[in-house]
Chain A
Amino acid sequence: MDQIRRVIIALAAVLVWALVPNAVQAEEHELVITHMEIAETNIRPKVGDTVKFINQADIAHNLYLTYEDGTVQNLDTQFPGMSKTAKIERSGKVVVRCWIHPVIRMEFDAADAD
């Protein structure tokens, strides 16, 4: 019984945390990689948000993000079916490319954190 009560309290805590409006809460944005393309979507993440890249292709990719100041964020090799997440570090234009496949290229704008 004690254990069940503890689980209920924990679940309630999670629920409260999830429901309370939180200005600094980071959002997650999703992008899907099909064969040699990142499917077109309009995302506009803020600094601190995460962008999740889902590899739905049947080949591996190795994406990297380049910020306006030239900083490069490498996401490592992602096998088919695997997801990799990048936490947005800087605002401005972000270019996504793949080390393996130069044909892959997409851009989005990152906003300043609130």
Chain B
Amino acid sequence: MSKVLLVGTPNSGKTALFNRLTGLNHRVANYPGITVDLSIGQLAKLPDRELVDFPGTYSLRPISEEERIAVAHFADALGDPEVEHVLCVVDATRLEKSLFFCLQVVRECRRSGKRITVLANMGDILARHSLKVDAPGLAENIGAPVLVVSARTGMGLAEVLDQLASSTLDEMAVAADEEPMLLAQDDESADSALYEEAHRLAERFGAPADQLLLIQSRLDRFFLGSLSGGLAFSLIMLVLFQSIFTWSAPAMDAVERVVTGLGRWILPFLDQGILRDFTADAIFSGIGAFLVFVPQIFVLTFVIGLLEDSGYLARAALICHKPLRFFGLSGKSFIPMLSGVACAIPAIYAARSIESPRARFLTYLVIPLMPCSARLPVYTLLIAIFIPRETALGGLVGWQGLTLFCVYGLGMVCGLLVAGVVNRISTGEAQMPFMMELPAYRMPALVPIARKSLQRAKHFVTKAGLVILSVTIVVWVLGYFPNQGADLGASWLGTIGKWIEPVFQPLGLDWRYGVAIVSAFLAREVFVGTLGTIMGIEGAEDNILPLVEQIQASALPLGSGLALLVFFAIALQCVSTVAILAREANSWRLAGRMVVAYLCIAWLAAWATFQITAML
């Protein structure tokens, strides 16, 4: 199958174009050896071509790790005989910024004999403001066809497909007299000629975008101002956290009702015995307990997606730069940290865009302490058990929401403290200066974000679900045998549990919680499923009670509940995070040290919490 490469500068709308051109048909490939995710998809209208989406870079002369990897792949791909066409996306409203990269790409494509088409994206914005870029003029000067397109409206995409379908190579004949490829080398003199050229072309053929920038500047005055910006930031973060609870509550209730309803309906059809016990304890109590949280993951990803797409996240990063700098981090750490609120794994990938190795290392330390959504099931469960549903201040603050806010805060504060301390005591490379593009403000494109959030939720169900199902089955088998669930304490699970009980006893937790915590090392949310299964075995036969009520009935002390919350806020209990961290940071030692250190801190903090609560 022949391949088409899609390249472009960041924020030029490359991802949006990729989605447009491939429809839903794409997969994310992990290139062998190096961890960079390239999306690969079949072109919807030309099924015999594959479109390969490269990470955005400003230049073929990389300054960050992320760019280095992207550029190295691009160089490889240009040598691949299957690749015949390169699409280079530029932002038509900000030509100057993209043209330098574009010229570099044209030069490299010419050297390696690949066809290239330049796509001037965001054409709809130009049209809306009656602006124009001179595409034919530009095409003539750079020696490659230029098409004005819009990923939003689909404008011009038919011509792109025509270009791809036609296989005339004449306009891109290899220039024989050019010197060999110099990709990714410090080739300053050649580059400075390109800067001049890019500048000249943008001035001559680009659209004057004063009008667009005026709108952006007004919004920036508001969002970056000391008072208005601070207020907006707090408000947006508050809405983000509230939305996790309030917007997803109806969906969570619905899932819970469906799961329990389904269980009550199905169980009577099964004969008494192992199958029935397994279905009730492992499937409905175990898996059901975890499915309830899927809506929350969807909502969280969706809201972060909205913020990112609107252009606000870059402003938030800017506002946070100085405070984060105090802890050795950078404003660019903000986006990985916020993604970490959804999941540590994409957050670790997002940290690639931090050019400064020192800030990146410190960001790695913080990410696992960010309150990821896998902790959410555990938090929600514990909060529902111990914290009353009541509200205070006339319904303005709910105690449950406030508690969640505090546990979230705890993780973040710990993260900053760790970064700050490590930054002070470690020597090493100095920080790099901060430079960041501020993208335009845009209406977020709802459908692609919803689709992405759905994918994330699905991924969570399939990937985490598989782990949870296996753990649940193992836990159930260990807990059910050898005595058919008659006495959990005497089961194999009980024996193992009693063995590890001394570790958790100082926190006021019995062996059942110990087992649940240990199983949570596969993935935190497994805690809920394991506890559901254990309580399910213990509970009355067909009585699928919500887990909250079962634990409330077991009279777990408040101090132990709070200790659990604290423990989960700090401990690094996710094998996938550890693996990705080790790979990205290229150091198993770092990952191993983090696991041990965070576990010790978590246990000590949990113990202190239990002791303090007992004194009150």
**A joins B in a complex:** no
Interface residues, chain B, with chain A CB atoms under 8 Å away: none
